Structure 1
Amino acid sequence: MKRKLTMLAMAAAVSTAHAAVERIQVVERVPFAPGVTFGEYGAYEKIRGIAYYALDPKAAANASIVDLKKAPRDKQGRVLFSSEFVLLRPTAAQPTTLLYDVNNRGNIAILGQVNGRSPANNDPATAADAGDGFLMRHGFSLLFSAWTWDVAPTAPAAGTAPRPLVFAPPVAKGVKGKVQNEFTVNAPTDIVTYAGMRGLTYEPATPNDPHAQLTERARQGDQRKPIPRSAWRFVEPELKGGPGRVQLEGGFKPDTIYEITYVARDPYVTGAGLAGIRDLLSYFRDHPFEGAPAPRNVLMFGISQSGRLIGRMMHDGLNVDEGGKLVFSGAYLQVPGAGGSAGFNSRFAQPTRHPSMMEEHDYPADAFPFTSAPTRDSATGKTASTLDKARDKQGKLPKLFYANTSTEFWNRGASLIATTPDGERDVAPAENVRVYGFMGAQHYVGRSNKRAPFTACVSTTDHYLPMRALIVALDDWTVKGKQPPASAYPQLADGTLTTVADYRAIFPKGLGITPPEQNLREPRLNFGRRFDTQGIADTVPPKHGDDFETRVPTPDADGNDKGGVRLVELQAPLGTHTGWNLRAPDTGFAWATSRFDGSFVPFARTEAERVAAGDPRPSLEARYANRDAYVAAVRTAAGQQVAAGLLLPEDVERSLKENVGLYDRILARDPSDQGCDYLFAR
């Protein structure tokens, strides 16, 4: 049946041209989660296809795409390319909200975090792949497409066919430039890849380039020490099409930042991937497709790298199509850190890369402006906002949610989206923007039951529940005009945002964990005079100016962050949840934080245990008279979240189960056991 439907779908390929979308080819059309119906929206189907694009390098709408004019063109002077897409939608022909999920490193992300199940092989097909069906029960049509090229291949497991959504962008043939890659190791090794996290990079224009340079240093601000060229060599990729590697005599060691620099050639026109998203959404926004009407609404959603991509699209005006219309009415940027106003659209861009405490401080992932309302940078005298180019021809802007966890305040400069660049004053979000801080949460919901490679157990807060509520709220805001939850994030004015020095002074002693020396202070980079206007780096590595000042949430007497969204775990706490977790000394850089993880330290069970341990925090016994009292506290906290619009009534029982389950496991745990197995239900 599947093969028959696929053949019929291929025969029914759409060839209508619209704006920059030349045509849509359907290559597969099959039931999604066969036999399952999702509430009033019924059964769903999956359509897999290919979108074919043609961009005019002379069009004003494409002027911001770096190196587009250097890409090969057809006889009409257009740059041609294509990208694969996947669409999940109700089979009944009814208008729905089209929710575009920006894939993360080729992988579908929203289903794992919002529905609770990442699709097997990155190919949503079965009832299991639908998770709890949340997005389907709420009637969203889900669209995914390829937009980035720098995804490293992985060895397929037996019997599987991994299908990452990887983009083949146009190439600026013959262009050369210097490229630098930074890497570290967690254990001694002779051979290592030098690309970004699970990514690809540009390889040397000259094989085994004799003029390439390899350096080492202990911290980002230290002087680079050259390693003799005779002591190292380039090595073939481990997998065909994978990133290159280097081999060093005596081996690479932890606690060291290595950097390799060489001349590369033929950069990808990476910004074409952003234009492809723009034009695909423009097409679906206006066109009935395969028997279904055009959507009633179009939204975008992105997690981490994917959220930063949305920020870059708006920074470059690539959220407005060639006809001058917004391609999405609203967007949700989840854990984007400082917002992503750089990266993604420059010569030799590598979207996989981004800075954290110890690495990648020379990659342009974030740059001024950071705020949605105009802000002045006192260092340069410039005044700007992230939305200066994001208006349509009628002057409208999309409605936006920015949501960060505590970890992004420590590791990704999150405070900058609501402060001045010097960190001295709050900057209120623009009228079309809401900002949320999920306090005590980490970049993703914790799942590790081991301390390694960090010093503490990971945080257990579940910020995926307010994410679900906010997705529904964004749809209601953009379709019905219903006001969403008010912004809730740490601020300087009310003392819930502070310096790292103050945090360290306030944080309670005797918990067995010590706060970091510093959070990420976003670097101010100078790549030369052409970078800001043309996206071309002439200075590699870049010169550094004074860092942008970043702040962190203020801790309370328990060590839990103040301000922001008060998750149930912080209103009815079982311990201290932080946004940071220090690296284990044997992995190197013991002073630095984990890139993505927070910490959790439970309260003592009884007052006697608390006194014996020297723990300054009241025990569970002192806070909750018994289990029933704790259950009541969780219900009260969940009710407050529902009233605030940050928890859906359907998710109250899930929150209760998660939190009461942890309460039971803490009481059953031997406090002398320093393992982390008790954190999560088996």
Structure 2
Amino acid sequence: MALTRLDIETRKAFAGGSSFGDVGRYEQIDGVAHFAVDPEHSDHAVIADIGLAPRNGGGLVEFSADFRIVKPMDNDHGNGRLLLDVVNRGKELALKNINSAPDGPPDAVPHPGNGFLMREGYSLVWCGWQHDVPDAAGLFRCNVPNAQNEDGSPVSGRIVVSFQPIADITTQFLSDREHRPYPTNHLESWDSVLTVQEHEDGEEKVIPRERWAFARVVDGRRVPDAAHITLDGGFEAGKVYRVLYETSHAPVVGLGLLATRDIAAWLRYGDADGVGTANPLGGAIGRAYAYGRSQSGRFLRQMLHLGLNRDESERVVFDGMLPNVAGGKMGEFNVRFGQPSSLSNRSVNNLPPFLDIDLGGEDGILAEVTRHGVAPKVIYTNTSSEYWGGHGALAHMTPDGSADVALPDNVRSWLFCGTQHAPASLPISDTNPDTGARGTQALNYVDYRPLMRAALYGLDRWVTHNEEPPGNWYPNHADGSIVETSELADWFRSLPGVEFPRHHKVMRRLDFGPDRAVPTVIPPDVGAEYPSLVSAVDADGNEIGGVRLPAIAVPLATYTGWNVRHSDIGGVGQVLSPGGTLAGGAIPFAVTRNERLATGDPRPSIEERYGSREEYLARVRECAETLVASGYVLAEDVAVLVSQGTEVYDAIVGVSAAVAADD
């Protein structure tokens, strides 16, 4: 097997030794996994630059990755399922996004949240796959070699780094989110180019070379620095900057895909590593699933597209996958000079295929795994933000947007109506406390995590018992639930104080040259725009083309997958997209009829809709129970949804007003 050594550094009780139902206590194992793969293996030909990676004496390419395993103390008490949580920029996500664990820094003690995954008996694994994760405690990184020319010299080439600040700044690090940068080869190069745009799709203007430098500002002075740039007068909030330059640091980024494949394969099939360390899950795993959210969901789509769901012995690795909020995109996960965290609209992460199947000679996401006979069951879950981001609908329609495309029988796709990219919660605020990003409307606070628990449960029943999960539910032409973004502009602008985006996220046809893994056209040639289609809405402005949680079906507000940048952070009229993914919005209803009439709000007020707090909560419960009956929610989460409804009602109406209404 490609995993050669599992170095276990710590082994301890998980969650302070807490017991989880019939499964009992869990343990946590941390360390470093070492790999060696054959670059000549036919399945590895898809890995960019693997042929240029240095080899050991046996002709193999070596690399390593941080890992963590959380498993039952007694493997016999587990459910025989492995869940690999693909880390997002080095961070674990399943405990937060499936178990509803609270936010915390990467180096915090892992929190079990509501314990759902543990009570179900899952064994969890996290493994680093991203080469440029910062040096910070608690993050999982994959350490890969750099590509070399035949003479041993480093591979050089051009790269573009894009950024959009939310505040005026003087200096910019040449990376996304403080990740390890690609330093410039030439501090004084006049071939390097810096451009600026008013918004992502705006006119690109070249900034004169004498106005900027590869440097950082220290005590008011420019200090030459290959990993920073600075601009006379500074970089303005809300504007989009792109810097083109040459670098000679070319890590073999795609080896992270093999690390993910091979640690799961070894934990599923292996007995011991190459030095005799026993597999902590040896003989205990009958099924394996992969979960990924956002970046890591797109990572799973790319893994499928490359056919990497079988190990070197041609055994199936993952029986099921759960890509969450990946939309129709992949990423810079297998490309020379890849920036895996970048969400630039001029990136290879915007290239097709978007669909699972071949269409008109165009490649499909599932084409290779289907050809190999190793296609997993897949449940895609997306929010409104992926559709308003310009790519969600491309995963189930023709590229021109004119017709629906049927999904394969082994695939389900669900839109979570009215939700935003990241699971949200109270309090009601227009500002993200972590990023400082501010919207013109309150940020979306709909929590869709109960739907994720049901999705995993349904995936497991589908794989193990062939019980069909609920059907596809997403915006489509057949039932008229899909529209152009522009069709909703007048309705939203009719609401008092509401801004509708003047500049939307769009996807365009891009040409990087004949080989997407080793681009030769940098920056790419930019072509025509893909259609941007989203869910239609009801009379309250809430989406109808997917699964409607009680927050949407029994509403107290209009919820959107988009928001508009506040003037405080620049980029007026642009969608709010901290980190490149859309933040959603919430536009609460007026509490009383008089308040509604005073502002001219066309939507009925809360008092006009619901006779009392009790009536409202009864309708929330009824909606939740309907979702249970259809398989989109688990019975145990009815109480969770009612509790969420209670908190939002009290936050909008106010406890005193709620009591008065009850009287």
* Partner of residue 642 from structure 1, selected from 616, 628, 642: 628
Residue 449 of structure 1 deviates from its aligned partner by 4.1
How many Å separate the matches in 2 of 1:647 and 1:536? 44
Residue 669 of structure 1 and its aligned partner are, at CA, apart by: 8.0
2:274 aligned residue = none
Aligned residue in 2 for 1:431: 409
Q: Identify if the C-alpha distance between structure 1 residues 351 and 430 changes in structure 2 by more than 3 Å, giving closer, same or farther.
A: same
Residue 628 (1) aligns with residue 607 (2): no
Structure 1 residue 188: deviation in Å? 2.0
Alignment of 1:304 onto 2:294: yes
1:583/1:592 contact within 8 Å kept: yes
| TM alignment of 1:440-455, pairs within 5 A | 440-447=418-425, 449-452=428-431, 453-455=438-440
Work out whether 1:467 is the aligned partner of 2:447.
no
Q: What amino acid is the match of 1:429? A: L
Structure 2 Cα separation of the partners of residues 585 and 463 of structure 1: 29
**2:158 partner amino acid:** K
Residue 488 (str. 1) matches residue 473 (str. 2): yes
C-alpha separation in 2, matches of 1:610 and 1:527: 52
In 2, the alpha carbon distance for the partners of 1:497 and 1:80 equals 48
Residues 121 and 505 of structure 1, relative CA distance in 2, 3 Å threshold: closer
Asked if residue 328 in structure 1 is aligned to residue 318 in structure 2, the reply is yes
Q: Does 1:256 align with 2:232?
A: no
Whether contact under 8 Å (1:30, 1:45) holds in the other structure is yes
Q: How far did residue 507 of structure 1 move?
A: 4.0
Q: Would the aligned equivalents of 1:446 and 1:597 in 2 still touch at CA under 8 Å?
A: no
2:387 is paired with a residue whose SS is helix
Pair 1:271-2:262 in alignment: no
After superposition, the C-alpha distances for 1:422-473 in whole angstroms (9 at most, x for unaligned) are 1111112111000000000001123464324110001121111101111111
Match of 2:222 in 1: none
Instruction: Assess, with a 3 A threshold, how the Cα gap between structure 1 residues 445 and 430 changes in structure 2: closer, same or farther.
Output: same
Match for residue 193 of structure 2? 213
* Counterpart in the other structure of 1:12: none
- Equivalent residues of 1:553, 1:561 under 8 A apart: yes
Match of 1:405 in 2: 383
Deviates more, 1:23-32 or 1:57-66: 23-32
Checking the alignment, whether the CA contact within 8 Å between 1:237 and 1:243 is kept in structure 2 is no
Q: Is the contact made by 1:184 and 1:256 (CA closer than 8 Å) also made in structure 2?
A: yes
**Of 349, 362, 366, which residue of structure 2 is paired with 1:387?**
366
Q: Tell me, in whole angstroms, the C-alpha distance in 1 between the residues paired with 2:473 and 2:306.
A: 27
Q: Secondary structure at the match of 2:407?
A: coil
Quick check: 1:371 aligned with 2:355?
Answer: yes
- Look up the SS of the partner of 1:331 in the other structure: strand
Matches within 5 A, 1:515-664: 515-517=500-502, 519-529=504-514, 531-532=515-516, 535-595=517-577, 596-664=582-650
How far residue 208 of structure 1 moved from its aligned partner, in angstroms, is 5.1
Q: Amino acid of the residue matched to residue 163 of structure 1? A: G
Deviations along 1:71-97, whole A, 9 cap, x unmatched? 100122111111121000001132521
Aligned partner (choices 632, 655, 665) of residue 651 of structure 2: 665
1:478 aligns with 2:478: no
2:86 counterpart of 1:102: yes
Q: Aligned in 2, Cα 1:151/1:648: closer, same or farther, shift over 3 Å?
A: same
Judge conservation of contact 1:119–1:125 (CA < 8 Å) in 2: no
In the TM superposition, what whole-angstrom CA distance separates every residue of 1:34-80 from its partner, at most 9, and x where no partner exists? Answer: 33110111000011132211111111011100000101001221111
Look up the match of 1:315. Answer: 305
Q: Contact 2:492/2:498 (CA < 8 Å) preserved in 1?
A: no
Letter paired with 2:429:
K
The corresponding residue for 2:269 is 286
Query: Does 1:233 find its partner at 2:228?
Result: no
Whether contact under 8 Å (2:387, 2:393) holds in the other structure is yes
Quote the offset at 1:193 in angstroms: 2.1
Separation (CA, whole Å) in 1 of partners of 2:261 and 2:202: 41
CA distance in 2, matches of 1:218, 1:333: 33
Cα 1:605–1:223 change in 2 (3 A) is: closer
After superposition, the C-alpha distances for 1:79-125 in whole angstroms (9 at most, x for unaligned) are 11111210000011325210000001011111112222257553574
Match of 2:275 in 1: none
The 3-state SS of whatever aligns with 1:365 is helix
Contact 2:440 2:499 in 1 (8 A): no
Contact 1:406 1:438 in 2 (8 A): yes
Q: Does 1:353 align with 2:342?
A: yes
Offset, 1:396 = 3.8
Secondary structure at the residue paired with 1:108? coil
Check whether the contact 2:10–2:29 (CA below 8 A) recurs between aligned residues: yes
Report if aligned partners of 1:506, 1:555 keep a CA contact under 8 Å in 2.
no
The answer to whether the aligner puts 1:29 opposite 2:11 as a matched pair is yes
Worse-matched range after superposition: 31-40 or 285-294:
285-294
* Correspondence for 2:124 among 128, 132, 142: 142
1:346 alignment partner AA: V
Note the alpha carbon deviations across 1:217-243, whole angstroms, 9 max, x for none. 2234444332232222222599xxx99
Aligned with residue 247 of structure 1, among 230, 238, 257: 230
Structure 2 residue 139 is matched with structure 1 residue 164: yes
Alpha-carbon shift at residue 537 of structure 1 (Å): 1.2
Look up the equivalent residue of 2:21 and give its one-letter code.
G
CA distance in 2: counterparts of 1:168 and 1:279, whole angstroms: 15
Q: Look up the equivalent residue of 1:488 and give its one-letter code.
A: W
Residue-by-residue CA offset, 1:581-640 (whole Å, 9 max, x unaligned): 000123222121112311111111222221122111111112111112111101100101
Specify whether residues 633 and 421 from structure 1 end up closer, same or farther in structure 2 by C-alpha distance, changes over 3 A only.
same
Task: Indicate if the aligned counterparts of 1:374 and 1:383 stay in contact, CA closer than 8 A.
Answer: yes
1:197 paired with 2:197, answer no
**Paired residue for 2:70?**
88
Indicate the SS of the match to 1:403: strand
User: Which whole-Å CA distance do the structure 1 matches of 2:655 and 2:230 have between them?
Assistant: 46
Matched to 1:132, the amino acid is N
Secondary structure of the structure 1 residue equivalent to 2:16? coil
1:101 alignment partner AA: D
| C-alpha distance 326-412 of structure 1, shift in aligned 2 (>3 A) | farther
Count residues in correspondence.
Answer: 626
**Comparing 272-281 and 248-257, the one that deviates more:** 248-257
In 1: Cα distance, 2:551 partner to 2:87 partner: 29
After TM superposition, list the pairs within 5 Å mapping 1:180-191 onto structure 2: 180-191=160-171
Structure 1 gaps of 5+ residues are 1-17, 155-161, 355-359, 377-381, 672-682
Does structure 2 retain, via aligned residues, the 8 Å contact 1:219–1:257? yes
What code does the residue aligned with 1:168 have?
N
Match of 1:5 in 2: none
The amino acid across from 2:345 in the alignment is: H
Q: Is the contact made by 2:99 and 2:117 (CA closer than 8 Å) also made in structure 1?
A: yes
Q: Write the letter of the residue equivalent to 2:132.
A: D
Q: Matches of 1:541 and 1:291 in 2, distance apart?
A: 46
RMSD across aligned positions (CA): 2.1
Q: TM-score if structure 2 supplies the norm length?
A: 0.90
Deviation of residue 206 (structure 1)? 2.8
Q: Does 1:509 align with 2:484?
A: no
What stretches of structure 2 of length at least 5 have no aligned partner?
A: 149-153, 219-224, 272-278, 432-437, 658-663
- Counterpart code for 2:206: P
Q: 1:38 aligns with which of 20, 23, 26?
A: 20
Rounded to whole Å, the distance in 2 between the matches of 1:569 and 1:547 is: 34
1:383–1:247: structure 2 CA closer, same or farther, 3 Å change rule? closer
TM-score (norm 1): 0.88
The equivalent position to 2:30 in structure 1, one of 48, 53, 58, is 48
Q: Which residue does 1:159 correspond to in 2?
A: none
Partner-residue secondary structure (3-state), 2:82: strand
> Does 1:338 pair with 2:328?
yes
Residue 232 of structure 1 aligns to which amino acid in structure 2?
W
- Cα distance in 2 between the residues matched to 1:172 and 1:510: 55
